[in-house]
Structures are given as structure tokens and as C-alpha cells.
Chain A
Amino acid sequence: MINAFLIFNNNGQPRLTKFYTQLDTAVQQRLISEIFTLVSARPSSSCNFLPLPPLLSPPTSSSTSTQEHNDAPSLVTYRHYATLYFIVISTATESPLALLDLIQVYVEALDRLFENVCELDLIFNFETLHAVLGEMMVGGVVVETGLDRVVEGVKAQGRVAKRPVNESRSGIGMQGIWAGR
């Protein structure tokens, strides 16, 4: 299963955090920064799989049976799109190559919803990010991989707001998050 889905940008600032296990906020932040450290050091030519960050590495090097191992996260997969890193932490029951495709589906779904999505969309509409994720996976298990159905599911929840057109005119940009009401 998938243990966590994270998005952060090239500076390590989180844009979406979703942990399918309840974790302390401080621990979440540590994990994010550990993964960021690992991921930011990699050139684009390298593969999309990370070694486990120190926080996640198994407590003892040996003595855990393979069976037991299936419960613990063993795979960190990431993809880098422009300014953003998409990270999936998962157990061995997930297929590494399929996870890469899953991230792709997620990004394509965002692109459909926001039309030429960019980081700003993600910053201002983080609720939508959660909604898309909720359509694709529940409790760490993938429930939908079809792009159309994901988009359809999110749209059914209400209008997706586009990012405010002009940043500086904050007074006018009051259409806000409750636009759907």
C-alpha cells in the first residue's frame, strides 16, 4: 500500500502532504526534509527511486522476515516536474513502475482541472489537490487510475477554482474559496 503522498517544490516547501498513517507534525516535517535532502541531490539523469531516508530505514539490518517486511515502507518513488517534486512512499506490495505512472496520472488530472497547471495553482488550491488525491486513493490503496473518472469525480464535488488572475489586486480577488456556494 501507499504510506504517504507528498509534493514539495525545489526549495523543499511542502505543497501537499498526505500521510496514510497518523504521524506527529514534527515527524512529518523531518521526514519531508530528509526526503528533500535525498531528492534534491539527484541529477535528472538518475532513476526515480530513492534509498530509504534515515527515518524510515529499518531499525535493524537483519532479522526481519520478508513477510514482516511487507508492512513497512520500502520504496520511495519520486518524479520531478518543473519546480515540483512528487513523492510516493510505499510498501513492497506496490509496483515501482506502476507508481511512476500513478504520479503521472495525478499530474495529468491536475492539468485537466487547472488547464496548464503550475505551482501557483497548487499553492492556492491545495484543497483541490486533496480532492484529486482522494479520488485516486483511499487509505493508501489505489481506487482509481482512469484519468477521466478522477477528473469527473473531483468536478462532481464542486467548481474547481482557478488561481486568482492578478496577485497584486488582493481586494478584488475576493471570489475566494467559497465560490461554489
Chain B
Amino acid sequence: MFEKDIYQLIRGLRSHKGNEREYIQDCLKECRREIRGADMDQKATALLKLVYLEMFGHDMSWASFNVLEVMSSPKYLQKRVGYLAAVQSFRPDTEVLMLAENLLKKDLNSPDKTMMSLPLIAIPHVINPSMANSLLTDILPRLSHSNPSIRKKTIVTLYRLALVYPETLRPAWPKIKERILDEDEDPSVTAAVVNVVCELGWRRPQDFLPLAPRLFELLTQGGNNWMAIKIIKLFSTLTPLEPRLVKKLLPPLTSIIKTTPAMSLLYECINGIIQGGIMEAAEGTTEGDEVARLCLSKLRAMLVVEGDPNLRYVALLAFAKITSSHADLVSQHQDVILECIDDADISIRTRALDLVVGMINANNLQTVVERLLRQLSSAGAASEIGGHPQDRGINAGVVPMADDDDDDLQASIKPKGQKSAQAPPLPEDYRASVIERILEMCSRGNYTNMNDFEWYIGVLVDLVKQCPATASTGSFNSTSLTTAKAKQSIADKIGAELLNVAVRVKAVRPDAAAAAQSLLLIERRDHHFGPRGSGNQGVLAGAAFLAGEYATMLPDPEAVLTSLLQSSTAQLPTNTLINYLQAIPKVFSVITNNERKSWTTSRQSNTVLLIARIVHFMEPLTMHPNLDVQERAVEYLDLMRLASEAVSSHEPCSDTSDFVEPPLLITQAIPSLFSGVELNPVAVTALRKVPLPDDIDLDAPINVNLQMLLQQAEYDAEFVDGDNDVWRFYNQKPLPVGTFYQKSAGDLLNARDASSRTSSYQDTESESFDQEAIERKKAERAERYRDDPYYIAPVERRSGSLTPMHNILRNSNGDQELDVDAIPVMELKLDDTRDVASDPERMRRKKSQPVKKPKRHFEIAAEETIDGGDENMPTSYSSSPSKPAISRGKKSLLEVDSSALSSLSLTDVTPSGGHISQLEIERRQAEEQEMANALKEVERLRLEMQRAQEKIEMRGDLPEDGTIVKRKTKKKKTRVVDVGAETGVAEDVQEDAAAVKPKKKKKKKSPAADDETRAVVDDGTFDDELPAPIAKPKRKKKRQVVFDEDGTEEAP
């Protein structure tokens, strides 16, 4: 029987072109058989083959025990295969790991150094806290091994041990420190220590300050650029803690920058200066200014250097880090940075884009945006051909395919390969992010940098065309779901932005309305939307709302209405359709409400025609599947029918010289529906700031007798009398309305006391004629909306242009009205900002930004809110506590959690440690005490319950039931204990967290707490493929919850 060795397997794969899958399945079967055999050689060969196939995604977790067998082979080469297999295939849930412990210990103590390094390399991959604890004693002595290669591997292994088991550092750190302080140590070991310290450093910089002199020495000695980079990185985390370091570091860093030929070191020097805050710290001094100038000029040189995109990329990264503090310095280099926006490389472009967003100001905004726009429009064609030429291996897992030609494979990999250098097309998500950035840049700080809103409106309209198409086919199929959503919202965002500008900046409303009109017009659709499919239709929602709200400013309302009523409209997404439905009556009312023009025959027929078209459009929508659409359609349809009645029955004048009043329903009633309070921007947080009125008790039942009333209602249901309005409204056919239609609606309106109203809208309309009643209604409404955040500051209701009705009211008794309107504002004041808040004009003036462009002054309405101070308020207190929890849960895939390290202090090992551990012991005792108390309490409760049960038993006088009752008692008993213990623990943990937080720096977590969290981690978090994250004390509470959930899940 011939077995395949690894070469034959690979050759076999290569010769089975086309049917690799079957071949692999055969091989796997073979391996399964071979690995069970007694021959160790065969086992090892089979394992190696499995490892090879694992690389292509063929699971080999089933072989974990065999891995152990091979690992324990005395022969080095077999052992090596075993260790390799363990590294490649063991997962956090591999159970045989416990069995490996002794083997690892044995190999760590092997006399042979190559044998010894096998476990050292493998341990970082498979380690868990309990294993770390037991292996520590075997690994530590290896730090003083005679072979430097073993020493440096040991150091790193200890670091990985510390990540899962922070206690490692307590005995290990002094020894590691010894290594770095030892000047005779092998340089590569020193470099390894520096690497490890650099990894540890950012977590707990304060512990590594004592090393600063030695690190400084190593840095100035020079020689190893790799190490210098790491030392600089480390120093950049230390300088914020020790400002004196800045002065010390400046000269060597400056000289490195000036002299080093190594770009990586140069770059890291600059980066370290930026990140370590050295630039800020040294600001003002001559050296500081010099170094800042030097850095920026070097970075600039990196940007302009030809042929090395990598330098350009990292320089942009560095620039981006400076922008937050020195935006002005960066914008001096605007010219070269802007060049990078058009770089052929998407990575560079994205970085440049990030950077540009940071350095934008009023002067360069337009240039930058124009440039981005040009980029978008010129790349439009390229993206059509888009897609990835090589998308093999995206859908199906990669199969070890037979390779096409060996010549290719035999080509030496040393020379760099040549690929076609054609510019990549703009990917859709890049396109989306450019648009998002443009919106972000322009709207930042309530349009601080915006000088020309007319230009901005034009930009927005242009952007619509550049929206990425929604339906992305293929390519990034793993992300298509999410990006499709994002893309959907890009067009929506543009629409919202358009609306936002129109609302905030009064001066450009006509322009915005015109823009909305051009977007809405069907004939112009192709021009604005281009051929990119339906991705950009989201903007229509915003445009439609805008057109409706500012219909008076539309250049051509009739044309807009025609477009809105297009039959294709009904196919729009519901969100857009809703806005269309809302806009239609608004535009209609603007077209028809002229009360100065006489009611002529032609006007009548025009109006009738318009109404007929609207009715025709809306009728099918009353059956729309979306409830919102349906409701609006039904509402406006009935309104239109009513209008139709009024219009057709209103006698027009036969003679042109006569003036006949147009129907009031058209000129006053319908417009008044849409002319309430002016639309103002309201801060997102405003709603939360509305204080709870003193007289509201949310816990009090609204009606104590609710239950009774409901029952009553059930009894009464049979005897409903006909006078009950509500009952009639819902249960009787609206016959009366029908009879009403026979009269003219206009007549009805004129009749002041239409006593026989039954239909609800007629109610309000006829009443609306009564001035006093209107006044009363207004007051009522104001009263009702006093606490409604959406009605915050309508002090002067100046939507007069839209509402003739309103003018009438204002003229008649404006004073009174103002009083009434002021009520909500007065009530909403929270403190002394009251007068400001009650005067939106003043507030606006205060908040409006200094506008630089002299020719036109734009007033930008700030968001309305109650307090003004958004910062004091947690922006979202409902979601903020859960947010970190979410982000913790979705930890990045490859992340190695080092957070546990920050809870452990290395200073403990210094002589003061004794005192601290004393404290700790006390604390632990206190915890135990608390736990004991909690248990006592539980016990007490249990006894009480038992006693109560016994009482019942006694009273029951039923001896034969006794057993049953007893069993019940028992059940209850245990449950109570459970709950008690749980709450006890929870309390304990909470207490613990509270106790640890303030002293975190000085004190280590109690081992008890450690055990607890570890247990939790073992139970809960291990099922995603992440390393065991030891909880920080802060997070402990949350973890506890995870644990509890798991517990309950397991219980049933």
C-alpha cells in the first residue's frame, strides 16, 4: 500500500485540473485513515497534508487529538509538524489543549534549543489564562537562556501570556527590564524587548517612564533603524506624561530628520513628533518652530516626490494628524494636498479626502468642492465599465486549483511584477463617500465656511447626477447589502441638505425652490439624473417637500404640479410618494388661491380641470399598500372632492368687467390648512429638553376606573343610542355627507350657523369663518402644544405670504394673537436665556456666523433648542450606555485584546507593593464580608418564606396535602436562593467596579475578581473566535450580564 506524501498530494492537486474537489475529498478520506494508524511517520505525513489542505479552507478540527499525538513524537521533524498543525488548526474551543500542557512543559525544558523554540513559537497561538498560569514557571527561566534566539522568543511569548493573564508581568517584568537595561545584551534581544515594550507602552505608559533614559540612550546610539522606529513610537506615548522629555528629545529627533537616509525612520520621527504632542509642547520656542517647519517641509517633499505613492500615502496620514491642531500650517500646503485628491490611487485619494475635510476653511471650500465635483463627473464614464476583472474566488471558496502554467510559477519572485497601469475606475462606495464629504464640508458648523449659497444649491443639484447607482451588481457582494442601504441614503441626504439650506437660509429659498422644480420636472429628469439608474431618486423626496413648502416661490408651479401628477409618480418609493402627496395640495392651493382675480369661466374650468387631474391621480393611491400613502391620499382626495363641489357650483361671472369672488374654500380654507407655523430647524436634542411639567405624574393611572369603565362599555355596547357622535362616526355609513353634496359646499361655508354638520371637515371649515372661534381654537391649540417641542418659538407667525387668511386675522386683532402665540415660548423657558429664546430673530442674529463674502449677507437659522447648550446634555442618554457595549461586542476580527493589561500595575513589584497588597487584602476581605452578608440575607428570606409556608400548612389542616406543599416550598426555596445569589454577585461586582475605578492606576485587581471574570469569559465570550478578553473593571458589570444570559439560556 502506497501512501502519498505531501509532494505527491501537491502534485496530484496540480494534475487534477478541473476536479480538484473530488481529489481533495479523496485525500481527506485517506488522511483520516492514515492518521489513525500506529505508524508515527504516516501520522505525521497525513497531518502535514491536512495542514496543507487547511490552508485552502478544509476544516481539520476533528484531528486535534492526532495533532497532540504527533506533537509528542520524540523526533524533531515530526514534532515540528505537530506544532505547526497546532498553531494552524487549534481554535479557542479546541478541548484537547489541556492535555497539551505537560507536553509543552516538557518541550520547554528540552536541552535542544531548536526543540525548545517550537513550544515558544506555538504558545502565543494557543494560550489561555489557566494554561498561562501553569506554564509561566517553565517559560520564565528561558529568559536567561544562553541562546539569544531563545531569549527573544521567550520575551515575546511572555508578552502574549500577559495579554491573557496579566499577572504574568509581575514576575516577568523585572527580568524583561533586566534584559533591556543590560548593555551587553545581544542587540536583537534588545530590539525584541523594545518591540514588546512598545506594544505594552501605549496601554500603560506611566510604567515605562523609568525606562526613558535607557531608551534615549538606545535611540542616540543609533545603528538599528527598526528599533529606533519603535523607540520613537514608544516615546510618543510617553511625552504626554513627562513634558521634560520633549526638550530632551528634540535635538536627537531633529538630527535624525535631517540626516537619516531611511525614509521609514524619517517618517516615524515626524509621526512621533506629531503624535507625541511635541509640536504643541515646543510651540513658541525657536527649536519648536524649527522642528515644525522642518517636519512640514519634509512631509511636503514626500508628497511631491515622484514615483513613490507609499510616501505620499503616509505623508497624507501624518498631515491628517496635524490638522486637528495646526490646520493653518497644513492649509499652507493646500496646493500639493489638492493634487493628491486626483491621484490615480484610490487609497491616496481617500486619505487626501479625509485630510481635506479637516483643513477646509471659508477661502478654500469652493475650490476644493469644485475640484471634487470635477473628479466625480470626469470619472463617470469609467465607473460604467467598472467591476473587477478578477473576481474569482469571491463567491466560492478558493480551491487549490491546478496551476495553469509552470513557467509562470517558476518565474523568480524577486523582481517586481508589472501590471497594467491603467487608472482604476471610481468605485461606488468611494463616490458615495466623496458626496458625503462634500455635504459634510459645506454644512459644517452650521455653514460656517459657506459664502455663497446660490453656488451651493447648484452644487447640490449637480451632485444628484453623481449619486452612485443603487443596484450594484456583483463585485463586492459581501458588502452589497450594507452599501446599497448607504447609497440609498446618499440621494436622500442630498435632498435633505437641499431642504435644510432652504429652511435655514431665507435668502436662497427662491433659488432652492427653483432647484427643486428643475429636479422635479419630468422633462428635465434625464438631464439631472443622468443614465445612472434609480440610485438618485431619493433626492425627489426632499425636492417635493421643498416645492410644496415654498410653492409660492416656484417659478412655474403649474409645471411642477403636472410633474408631480405624472402617472409614473405612483411607482416611486413610498417615502418619496408621501412627500409628493403632501406637496400636491400645497402647490394646487398656490396656483388657485388668488382672491384678487375675478372668478371667470376660464378660471373655473381651469380649476376644475386641475382638481380632476389630482383626483384622478390620487384615487388609485387610496388602495396603496403603504398605510401612510393611503391615509394621505384618502385625506387629500376628499378635500379635493369637496373643492370640486365648491368650484363647480360657484357661479362664474359671465362678464369680464364684473368681479366675482372666487370660492372661499379655494382662496382661504385650503391655503389655511398649510399655513400654520413657519418651518424652523429644531435641534435633535430639543425634545429631550422639554421639562416634565410639575403637575404631571407619569406613574399615575390616567383613569383609575379604567377597568370598570371598559366593562361598563361592554355592557353598554348593546344599548348605544343614536346621539352618540363617536359611535355614529365609526359605525354609521356617512349618508349625511351624500345629502350634503347636493348643496354647494360654498353655500355651506357662507352659512354661519350650519347647524346640521356631521362631517368633520365641514365642521372646521365653516367654523373657521368665525373669527372668535378661530381665536379660541388658536388659543386652544397653543395651549395644547405648549409642551410640544415642535412648536417651540412661533412668536411671530410670518407665513403671511402664503396665507391671506392669516393677514386678515393679524390686521383685525394682531396684539391679542401675539399674546396667545407667545404662550408656548414663555412656558418653555428654562432659565435666564428666556428672552433670547423667545426672540428667534435675536437668537438667529446671535448665532449667525460672520459672513465673509461682502456682496451678499446670508442669514443662517440656527437649530432651535431650549437650552442653547447642547453640550451639557448627553446627546442621547437613552442609547449612550448601550453603545460601548455594542462596540465591545462587535470587536474587530483579528483584534488581540490587551485591555486587561491596563488594570495591572507593574509598579506593584517595587517596594511600595507591600502596602498596596495590604490594601487589597482588606478590600478582598470587605468583599467577602459583603458576599457573606448577602448570603445571610438570602438565608433569612428563605427562612421567613419557609415559616410563612408552614403557617399556611398549619392553617390548611390537611396532612395529606402536606407533602405537596412541602415540595412547593422546596422549589421556591431554591429559586429564591438562586436569585439572591445572583443579585448578591451583581452587587458585589458593581461594588468592586466602583472600588477599583478610582484606584485603578495604583492597585491591581483582586484575584477573586479576576477569577470571576475569567469564568465569565470562559462561559460567554469564547464562542466567537476571539482571544479571551479579560474585562476591565469598568466593563465587568456588562460581562456579568452576558454570563447571566448564558445561564438562563442553558437552564431550559
- By a beta-carbon cutoff of 8 Å, the part of chain A in contact with chain B is 1, 3-4, 8, 10-34, 36-37, 40-51, 54-56, 58-60, 63-64, 67-68, 70-73, 80-84, 89, 93, 95-98, 100-101, 107, 111, 116-120, 123-124, 126-127, 130-131, 134-135, 138-146, 149, 153, 156-158, 164, 167, 170, 173-174, 176-178, 180-181
Contact = CB atoms under 8 A, between A and B. Distances in A.
Given A67-B202, A141-B159, A82 B124 contact: no
Given A36-B394, A153-B149, A177-B77, 9 more contacts: A13-B401, A37-B391, A42-B424, A45-B421, A46-B346, A47-B310, A55-B478, A176-B7, A177-B6
A127 B80 contact: yes
28 contacts: A1-B199, A12-B398, A17-B55, A20-B125, A27-B893, A43-B422, A47-B313, A49-B313, A50-B347, A60-B886, A63-B884, A73-B893, A95-B230, A95-B268, A118-B409, A118-B410, A120-B409, A120-B410, A123-B409, A126-B55, A127-B84, A139-B123, A141-B160, A142-B195, A144-B192, A157-B80, A176-B5, A178-B41
Contacts of B348: 46-47
Given A138-B124, A139-B160, A178-B77, A97 B152 contact: no
Contacts of A51: 346-347, 350
A143 B188 contact: yes
Contacts of A3: 894-896
Contacts of B267: 95, 97
Contacts of B160: 139-141
B489 to A, nearest CB: 13
A123 B92 CA distance: 28
B46 interface: no
A78 to B, nearest CB: 11
7 A-B pairs with least C-beta separation: A139-B124, A97-B264, A59-B890, A47-B309, A46-B345, A3-B894, A12-B393
A47 B199 contact: no
Interface in B400-424: 400-401, 406, 408-424
B120 A138 contact: yes
Nearest to A14: B55
Task: With a 10 A CB-CB cut-off, give which of B268, B350, B411 has the most chain A CB atoms.
Answer: B411
Contact of A81 (B87, B192, B416, B892): B416
Nearest to A74: B892
Task: With a 10 A CB-CB cut-off, give which of A89, A116, A131, A139 has the most chain B CB atoms.
Answer: A139
Nearest to A126: B52
A44 B421 contact: yes
A153 B116 CA distance: 13
Contact of A37 (B48, B394, B406, B420): B394
Contacts of A127: 48, 80-81, 84
Given A22-B92, A43-B420, A177-B48, A82 B411 contact: yes
A101 to B, nearest CB: 6
Contacts of A73: 892-895
Contacts of A45: 309, 344-345, 421
A83 B898 contact: no
Interface in B994-1030: 1025-1027
Nearest to B41: A178
A97 B344 contact: no
A29 B226 contact: no
A26 B90 CA distance: 14
A145 B230 CA distance: 13
Contact of A33 (B230, B397, B423, B891): B397
Interface string B112-131: 00100100110111100000
B156 interface: yes
Interface in B372-405: 388-394, 397-401
Nearest to A175: B7
A36 B397 CA distance: 12
B314 A72 contact: no
A15 B413 CA distance: 13
Given A14-B56, A111-B414, A140-B124, A47 B347 contact: yes
B240 to A, nearest CB: 12
Contact of B153 (A21, A82, A143, A180): A143
Contacts of A20: 124-125, 894, 896
A119 B91 contact: no
Interface in B66-111: 75-77, 80-81, 84, 87-92
A144 B897 contact: no
B179 interface: no
A177 B48 CA distance: 10
Contacts of B406: 120, 167
A93 B892 CA distance: 16
B474 to A, nearest CB: 11
Contacts of A72: 891-892, 894-895
A30 B397 CA distance: 8
A58 B890 CA distance: 8
B412 A24 contact: no
Given A28-B57, A37-B388, A145 B226 contact: yes
B561 to A, nearest CB: 41
* Interface of chain B: mostly helix, strand, loop or mixed: helix
A138 B153 contact: yes
Given A80-B417, A97-B264, A120-B406, A144 B10 contact: no
B878 interface: no
Contacts of A134: 117, 121
Contacts of A23: 91, 893-894, 1025
Contact of B476 (A37, A42, A56, A70): A37
A140 B348 CA distance: 27
A21 B192 contact: no
Given A22-B1027, A46-B346, A47-B348, A143 B476 contact: no
B202 A95 contact: no
A46 B424 CA distance: 10
Task: With a 10 A CB-CB cut-off, give which of A31, A49, A164 has the most chain B CB atoms.
Answer: A49
A45 to B, nearest CB: 5
Contacts of B886: 59-60
B366 to A, nearest CB: 27
A126 B414 CA distance: 18
A54 B124 contact: no
Interface string B284-314: 0000000000000000000000000110111
B367 interface: no
Given A13-B401, A29-B398, A143-B156, A44 B416 contact: yes
B153 A157 contact: no
Given A19-B894, A40-B390, A98-B264, A144 B152 contact: yes
B77 A47 contact: no
A125 to B, nearest CB: 9
A173 B9 CA distance: 12
Nearest to A167: B11
A114 to B, nearest CB: 10
B899 interface: yes
Contacts of A48: 309-310
B7 A164 contact: yes
Contacts of A4: 894
Contacts of B703: none
A167 B12 CA distance: 10
Nearest to B45: A177
Contacts of A70: 202-203
A171 to B, nearest CB: 10
Contacts of A130: 84, 87
Contacts of B191: 143, 145
B540 to A, nearest CB: 27
Given A43-B420, A49-B347, A138 B121 contact: yes
Contacts of A97: 263-264, 267-268, 310, 314
A42 B344 CA distance: 10
B8 interface: yes
A93 B199 contact: yes
B84 A24 contact: no
Interface in B134-156: 149, 152-153, 156
